[in-house]
Chain A
Amino acid sequence: MPHKQKAPFWGLFNLVERIMSYIIIAVIIVILFSLGSALLGMVKGGKEGSEKMFKSLRIRISLSVFLFVLLMFSGYMGWIEPNTTMLPTQ
């Protein structure tokens, strides 16, 4: 029963999967930054803060939609594999 080995995301065997994981995590980090930037805008308040908040949230949702499409497309192309079955690691 040679299950395909599924290594954790920091040490993937498959180079494509590894590269995709780094890209995905990089996009997540940028999303978190824009969410944080929106929070700073909200705390600041006033016209300027409100503007900053709205723009940051717009970046955050655009990147999230992009990431979702990227995930689905990568899964479809087989660049990354979903966690759908039990996969022994030894």
Chain B
Amino acid sequence: MSNQDYYLPHGTYWPIIGSIGISTTFIGFANQIHGVEWGGSVMGLGLAILVFMLFGWLGTVVNESVNGMYNSQVDRSFRWGMSWFIFSEVMFFAAFFGALFYARILSVPWLGGEDNNMFSGATSALETTKYIWEGFQATWPLTNTPGAVGQSGVEFSSGFALVDTWGLPALNTGLLLTSGVTLTYAHHALRAGQRNALVFWMIATIALGIAFLGFQIAEYGHAYHEGLKLTSGIYGSTFYLLTGFHGFHVTIGVIMLTVILYRIQKGHFDSDNHFAFEGVAWYWHFVDVVWLGLFIFVYWL
């Protein structure tokens, strides 16, 4: 479509800096696992190099974009790049939701003797469990791993009340959904060219995201204090992995929104040309939907 010349990027040193950062991070991490004294600090150094690389490289891209060095072909490649990144994110969360559904719908009931599993010759569920872990009852949330306990009479599933759905989880859902609303207002303001409204709604979105993270940390403290840990059976594992990775994504989203706010202040966008905003906005809406899914499938259904 475009008659413009094919864009050729100039040479750059950022990729090699990224490689050094990743290598340093993993060397540090591996040694940290082996209990080597300097492991942790080397890993920290590697992560710092990575952050430096990200800001440096993306900063270069922003400068080139603002200076009008990009044509429509580059614009399309950005859009496709963002959509592939999103695809990988969707697959990432699909795997964790899949693990939750698999454990809850299939594997835990099987251990309890349901369906035609490998012990289908058994005449009752009670007989089925006898062959694996005697006395095992398929319960949800399953908070103890059957192999670790149960053999010696330890209860399979301790009956503590889990985090109250009406408390922090509901509040956090409200906060995150409100941030989705404020971001939609910001999006509208940007498209309508209302600069002050845009800045106001962006700040509101960032503040709501930070509030969400604060309450999430409080909820973790509460759950951990109640005895729910990463090792608390399949429920504890899926709970912390899903909500933990979600919280990590909210953190990334807050950082990206802050960068976008900075770029708005710098005047990088106009009502027709704001792909960076669109990419980050979609990401925030996605993280919002993931939370809604978590709220429904972990806390309700």
Contacts and interface: CB of A to CB of B under 8 A. Distances in A.
Given A8-B104, A89-B140, A28 B292 contact: yes
Contacts of B180: 60-61, 64-65
Interface string B60-91: 00000000000000011001101100100000
B256 interface: no
Interface in B156-173: 157-166, 170, 173
Interface stretch (B21-29, B208-216, B272-280): B272-280
Interface residues of B, number: 57
B141 to A, nearest CB: 6
Contacts of B138: 89-90
Contacts, number: 132
A47 B272 contact: yes
A78 interface: no
Interface in A29-65: 31-32, 35, 38-39, 42-45, 47, 50, 53-54, 57-58, 60-61, 64-65
A68 interface: yes
Contacts of B163: 84
Nearest to B138: A89
Given A9-B301, A45-B79, A82-B300, A64 B278 contact: no
Interface in B36-74: none
Contacts of B298: 83
B285 A38 contact: yes
Interface string A64-90: 110110011001000010111111111
B204 interface: no
Contacts of B112: 89-90
B268 to A, nearest CB: 16
